Amino acid sequence: MKKILKNVSPRIKFIAAMVGFVSSIITIINFGIENFIKIIKNVLIGVLHFILLILTFKVSIWVIVVLIIILFFVLWIVYKVKDLSNSYEVDFLNYKTDMYKNWKITWNYDNAYKIINMRAICVCGCELFDNYYGEECPNCGQTYSYFNAKDIDAAKKVIYYRIKQGDYKIEQ
Ligand SMILES: [Zn+2]
């Protein structure tokens, strides 16, 4: 290592040292500072490692080109995987209505993706109101038995299960 470092021009050694210095300073500052700085830090550390790799092994330009291509390929895969997981997330958050027993049910999600505000609605899509014998649609007059707390609890478990299994359809 010492012998190799002797062969390196002082200018490159200075640049490598500066990159190392700056990246360590940023690492120190980084505690509690936003993602932007984190990214710069990671890039600088990557550059430093790359320079050290070139200095240590005196790699040819082709090896560098291949490494850059591999790096871009890896970044592309990471980007694609992230994209897929995002679309899955958006997909399931649009799943807000389904059938449970003979009720058509609807719900929302809170920030922790928990089901909230679950209730039965009419098959015509209208909200129901309570009457003496159950729930009634003010739009089409269709009546349903009460969708009580116990039913809500059971229906939530079924909906979580369907989400987990990917076994659901999003109503347009
Ligand atoms: Zn109705």
17 or 102: whose pLDDT is higher? 102
What's the rounded mean pLDDT across residues 158-162?
95
Judged against a pLDDT cut of 90, whether residue 73 lies above it is answered with no
Min mean pLDDT across 81-85, 118-122, 166-170 is at 81-85
Distance 143 CA to ligand 1 centre (A): 8
Distance 128 CA to ligand 1 centre (A): 8
Q: 136: Cβ–Cβ under 8 A, 6 or more apart, which residues?
A: 128, 129, 130, 142, 143, 144
Whole-number Å distance between alpha carbons of 121 and 136? 9
Q: Please report, rounded to a whole number, the percentage of residues in the chain having pLDDT higher than 70.
A: 78
Task: Break the chain into its structural domains and give their ranges.
Answer: 2-55, 93-165
Q: What is the pTM of this model?
A: 0.50
Residues with CB under 5 A from ligand 1 (ion): 122, 124, 126, 137, 139-140, 142
Judged against a pLDDT cut of 80, whether residue 145 lies above it is answered with yes
Report the pLDDT value the prediction gives residue 171, as an integer from 0 to 100: 83
